[in-house]
Structures are given as C-alpha cells and as structure tokens.
Amino acid sequence: MYSQREIIKGVYDECKKHHDDLHLFSFHVSKDEKFDLGEYEYIRRMDLDGFDAFILYACAFYNPKIQKMVVTKLKAAGKPIISIDSYQEDFINVTSCNKESMAELVEHLISEHGVKKINYVSGPTDSADAADRLEACKEVMEKHGLKLDDERIFSGTYYVDSGYKAYEYFKANDMMDADAFVCANDQIAMGIFYKAEADDYRIPDDFIITGFDHIPEAAYNDPSITSIERYERSIGMTAYSLINKKSDEPVRIIPKLAIGTSCCRNCRVYTSKRDEYLRKCIKRAVDISRYTGYVSDCAADFMTYRSVAEMYGILPEYQRKFGIPVMSIVLDRNERLKTLDIPYHYNALDDEQMSMHIKRRDIYNDRVEGNLYIYSSLHYGSEYFGYVVSTNYFDALNNELYHMFVNNISNMFESALKYKEQEEYINKLKDLSYYDPLTKLYNRLGFFNITEDMFDRARADGLETFIIFADLDKLKVINDTMGHKMGDEYLVDFANILSGTTDSGDVVMRFGGDEFVVFGISDVEDEVRKKILSIQEQIKIFNEKGKYSPYILSVSIGYTIIHHDTDQTLFKFIEDADGKMYKAKMEKYEARTGSKDRRSGRDRRVSNRRSLNEPVNLT
C-alpha cells in the first residue's frame, strides 16, 4: 500500500545516505489464517543475529497472534527496535498521531460544513490504527452532542473493494441520507466515490467523502479527496535516525489536514502535479499490462513442469523480464548453521547463475553498500518451503504483480511436491501388488510382468534363457518346532542368499509358500550350474552360524535351459524346473531314508498349491 511504500522509501533513503543495507521483510495478509501463517513462517525460522537493528510497522499485522509472534521474535534478537504507529513496550516508538489527525478532520467537517450525520467506513477490526481513527470520530461527534450509530459503521479492509461493499451496505439499508462518508483511508474513500458517481451523486453537493493518507490517486482525483497527509517518508527517515538512540516517549510526526474539493469546492487544485501524475499512471498501466502477461505466461509454463529443477531452468528468463537484478531462492533447512540450500541464485546483470549449498552471506553483495534486499515467503497455505530474496529490485515496492510472480514460484513448489507424493504413492501401490511383503522379492504378478517381456525379447534376439526352481526342505519342521516367526525368518534368510548370489539382470521371485524361482538370460549351462553352486556355498556358510540348530537351512534346486526357438510359455518351463527340483528332493530323501516316495512331484503337492493356469473348483 502507498503509506507503507513511502515509509520504506524514507528508511531506504537514509540507509543509502549512510551506506547501510536495508533488508525488507514483506508480507501479504489475507482472511485465511493458514495463508498468513505461511507468509510469516520464514521470520519465525530465520536467524536474526546478523542484523544490526529492526524497524517494525506492526499496523500491517492484522492478526494479533502473528503480530505477537513477530514482536517476540524481534525482542529475542536483542537488537534496537523502532516501532511505527503501534506502541510497543521496550521499543522506541514513532507515531504519526492517527487519533489526533482523524479528530482534526471530523472537527473540520462539523465546524466548517455543519455535518451532523456520518456513515463511517473503518479498516480491519483487529487493526490498531483503524480502531484509533474510529474512536476519534466518535469522540469528536460526542463533543458536539452527536452520535455515531453502530449501524452506520461498516468494518472491512483497507482496499477499494471495501469501499464498494460499504456503499452497497448503506444503500441497501436506506442510509444514503448521511452528510458525509468518513473513511479510514483513501482507498476506501475512492471505492465510495466510484460507486456514488455511478449512481449520479454529486460530490460534495449530495454528501462529503473523506479519506486518510493523502495518496496520489485520491489527491489528484476530481473531486480531490479531503484527507490526512501523514508525511510517510519523514516517518521512515525519523525511524532510521532513532537507531541506537534512547527515547522513553513516542516521537511524534505531526500530519496535516489536506482539504480537497470533496468537501470544499473552492480549494486549490494543483493541475500541473495532476498532469504529471496522470502521465505516471499511463506508464504504470502499460507496465501492468506487460507484467500481467509475464505472470500469466509464467504460470502456464510452470504448470507443464513436474519438478522444481525444470522451473530453475526457465526462471532466469522471467527474472530478466521483470527486471530483477539478482534473485535467490533459499530453502532454509539448516538455518542455525547458516548453511542453506540455495538451489537458485541468478545475477541477471552478469548473466551468472550459481546453484549450490552456500552460506547465507554469499547471496549478498559485499562489493557495494546501500543495497535493498526484499524477502518474500514461499509457501502454499501453511505449507512452508523457504523464501525468495530479490536484490535492488526497487519496482517490487510499486509492482503488485511481483507478489503474484512469487506466488507462481510457490505454486510450482507445491505442484512438484504433490507430483512427487503421487509418484511415491503409485510406487507404494506397485510395491504392494508386485512384491512379496515378507521377502521383498517379486511375487507372481511382478515376476511375470517383467519376465514375459524379457523372455519375448530374448527369443527374438536368439538368446537362451534359464529357470532355477528352489524349494526349502525344512520350513514345516521349523514352523512346528520353533514357531512361525522363526519360519518367516527362515524364508527371509534364504531370500537374501538367493538375491545376493544371483546377477543384477536376473529376476527372483517367491513363487509361493517355500518355493522360489530365478529367471535369467544365459546360453551357457555351466554358468547356471555355477549360480546354483554359489547358492549352495552361501547356504553352507550361513549354516555355520547355527541359527536354526539343531536344524539347518536346506534347499532342493532344479533348473532348465530354454532354447530361443521354443513356442512354449514361460510358465511351462517353470513347471519343468519344478519337476527337476522335485527329482533332486526325492534323491536326497532316498539317500537319507533308503525309501522311495512313489507319488510324482505334481501329485505330492496338489493339495498344497495349484498350477497358475489351473482353475480352482470350489464345489
């Protein structure tokens, strides 16, 4: 807003004169507390040790909770603090006499113009300066035996839109009979004027309109709006001059009643200044149109990206379009050590980009004194990402679209975060559907999803493939004697051995129960035999630990080599390897017991599992 910008310019003029850097922490308020908390989060996290003094404009903090948080944070820094227009204990206070100024304006309306009935449009209900101005109006009216009825008070914001809404409120409630509309600032007054003009009211013939702040838009309007000229630049300059000084009483900057034609038809109008202002307005309108296009294009470009790294690639182009000399994005993950994640630091003047982990001081210009650093929070609602620092970008004070540009960057962080979360969620779902939760090996769905394509490509390229089928020998014994928890560990231990002894290109699956399958590409049978020998060797080494004593980890293995010219399915070769595995198991059984199991492998296990492509009869 105009008043805040002028105060900042006053402070910065003094900083340049004394070769000091000004660090401006900017905030944009809303009616959404989550958004406001995101705006202020970077102050809460920031290490303020490196600053020499603070100038606080607390009136802009409409949320009392946030105002308290900022004040507490600044006090903890232990540096001189100057507060403007909001009395803070233990601070040096500078006041522009809000209450006295409004009292003078209302006194003028009553004494000079005979005003008796007022419609009052206030600022935010939790704003200290809005409360002071309203209280002053009530007190002056009471002094003259008049009363400001509650229904003739409308509370809103400090923006033009609040003037529109207030006008509609008074009109809808048959209260357009007021002698004057007294507004808490000039923007509200302009909103009242635009609505009144549209309804063919003549100002000041039908009623008077007054504002507060004496902004150019109101001062050079026709009619010019009667207001209070606060000398904001003087306020900023005075605040700077009080650093390192003592002052128990508030330092008062006396404003001036600026009478306009919205109450006095015969007051002087400075046409030359108005013409100069109109020229500036025309240029600003052209600039706004240009910047609006940049913001729109930027938002559209960012929407096509899925990562912030892509955004960093195009960001210098928009930084140059906005005319920002130097800009940094700071993700303060380790602020206390002052080692920050600076993924983006671009100097448009030297066409130099630096993206690395650097210390905070490295983003500042030590070669030149009197710099202006403007900080803006990067957040989405209350979700905080970091902040932007723009160096010597003076247009940020006048260009409202700069904030929208920063918002686009925030939205990109949010979109990238959501896309990453979505990918992680999809991968988790894939893991649940493709992997065995106990052994972390592929289950049947995951195995066949990968190996069928590998199998087809290998055949097309004339390559041989293989299947290894392994079946644990002692799982039932371990479950029955040591419990199912140890049985699960028995399965996991073998799965780890199997994964550790196969090649990276092999695909390992838990086929079901105590059965495992390995698929790979190899046209040398000896290589497959070496894999099996390696598995058995690792099992031998594992058993030396005696984890399952008196039992051991034991497995029966079969394999089959698949020629590239086969027309059989992959599952058919798994069954072939299963049969060979069972033959090996029976040979071990016969060697150990001296007896034979006359059933075939398929007959023996038919009650335990079904073929993958065999229907289950539930009747």
CATH number, domain at 173?
Answer: 3.40.50.2300
Q: How large is the average pLDDT for residues 139-146?
A: 97
Give the model's pLDDT for residue 270: 63
3-state secondary structure of 124: coil
8 A C-beta contact, residue 323 and residue 395: yes
- The H-assigned helical ranges of 435-474 are 444-460
Q: How far apart are CA 236 and CA 10, in angstroms?
A: 4
Model confidence band, residue 618 (pLDDT cutoffs 50, 70, 90): very low
Least confident span in 28-32, 71-75, 414-418, 579-583: 28-32
Q: How far apart are CA 592 and CA 552, in angstroms?
A: 15
Give the model's pLDDT for residue 493: 96
Cβ neighbors of 244 (< 8 A, separation 6 or more) are 53, 80
Does position 612 have pLDDT exceeding 60, yes or no?
no
Give the model's pLDDT for residue 15: 95
CA torsion, points 180, 181, 186, 191, in degrees to nearest 10?
-130
CA angle 218, 107, 200 (to 5 degrees): 45
Greater confidence (352 vs 286) lies with: 286
Model confidence band, residue 360 (pLDDT cutoffs 50, 70, 90): low
Least confident span in 25-34, 216-225, 456-465: 25-34
The answer as to whether 262 is a domain residue is yes
Question: To the nearest whole percent, how much of the chain has pLDDT over 90?
Answer: 59
Highest mean pLDDT pick, 62-71, 95-104, 361-370, 588-597: 95-104
Q: How far apart are CA 471 and CA 130, in angstroms?
A: 81
Q: How large is the average pLDDT for residues 234-255?
A: 88
Least confident span in 176-180, 291-295, 336-340, 546-550: 336-340
Half-sphere exposure of 565 (CA within 13 A, CB side): 0
Give the model's pLDDT for residue 601: 46
Question: To the nearest whole percent, how much of the chain has pLDDT over 70?
Answer: 92
Give the model's pLDDT for residue 507: 96
The answer as to whether 362 is a domain residue is no
Q: What is the pLDDT of residues 198-217, one digit of tens each?
A: 999 999 999 999 999 999 99
3-state secondary structure of 81: strand
Give the model's pLDDT for residue 67: 84
Q: How many domains is the chain partitioned into structurally?
A: 2
Give the model's pLDDT for residue 61: 75
Preceding omega of 255 cis (within 30 degrees of 0): no
CA distances for 222 relative to 270, 276, 574, angstroms: 11, 15, 91
Q: How far apart are CA 323 and CA 270, in angstroms?
A: 33
Q: Give the end-to-end CA distance of the chain in Å, rounded to a whole number.
A: 79
Does position 237 have pLDDT exceeding 80, yes or no?
yes
The answer as to whether 305 is a domain residue is no
Q: How far apart are CA 388 and CA 371, in angstroms?
A: 16
On the 0-12 / 13-18 / 19+ scale of CB atoms within 10 A, 428 is exposed
Q: How large is the average pLDDT for residues 351-375?
A: 76
Range of the domain at 514: 435-605
Q: How large is the average pLDDT for residues 333-358?
A: 64
Cβ neighbors of 381 (< 8 A, separation 6 or more) are 32, 34, 35, 38
Q: How large is the average pLDDT for residues 75-85?
A: 91
Does position 520 have pLDDT exceeding 90, yes or no?
yes
Q: Which residues pair with 372 in a beta bridge?
A: 22
Does position 280 have pLDDT exceeding 50, yes or no?
yes
Does position 120 have pLDDT exceeding 90, yes or no?
yes
User: Which of 611, 604, 552 lies closest to 582, judged by CA?
Assistant: 604
Model confidence band, residue 338 (pLDDT cutoffs 50, 70, 90): very low
3-state secondary structure of 80: coil
The answer as to whether 486 is a domain residue is yes
Mean pLDDT, the chain, whole residue set? 87
Looking at 241, 275, 309, which one is the last position of a domain?
Answer: 275
Q: How large is the average pLDDT for residues 160-178?
A: 97
- Structure tokens belonging to residue 427: 């991968």
The answer as to whether 218 is a domain residue is yes
Greater confidence (121 vs 271) lies with: 121
CA angle 281, 285, 290 (to 5 degrees): 145
Q: How large is the average pLDDT for residues 366-384?
A: 88
Does position 517 have pLDDT exceeding 60, yes or no?
yes
- Structure tokens belonging to residue 341: 């994640």
Least confident span in 46-50, 170-174, 481-485, 587-591: 587-591
Does position 192 have pLDDT exceeding 80, yes or no?
yes
Dihedral sign of CA atoms 121, 126, 129, 135 in order: positive
Looking at 242, 275, 308, which one is the last position of a domain?
Answer: 275
Q: How far apart are CA 127 and CA 57, in angstroms?
A: 12
Residue bearing tokens 């002071």: 132
The domain that holds 529 is classified in CATH as 3.30.70.270
Q: How far apart are CA 81 and CA 457, in angstroms?
A: 73
Give the model's pLDDT for residue 296: 94
Inter-helix orientation angle 525-543/484-501, to 10°: 140
Q: What is the pLDDT of residues 468-501, one digit of tens each?
A: 999 999 899 999 999 999 999 999 999 999 999 9
The answer as to whether 293 is a domain residue is no
Give the model's pLDDT for residue 89: 83
Q: How far apart are CA 493 and CA 137, in angstroms?
A: 83
Does position 607 have pLDDT exceeding 50, yes or no?
no
The answer as to whether 2 is a domain residue is no
8 A C-beta contact, residue 64 and residue 352: no
Give the model's pLDDT for residue 599: 45
Q: How large is the average pLDDT for residues 205-230?
A: 93
The answer as to whether 552 is a domain residue is yes
8 A C-beta contact, residue 235 and residue 94: yes
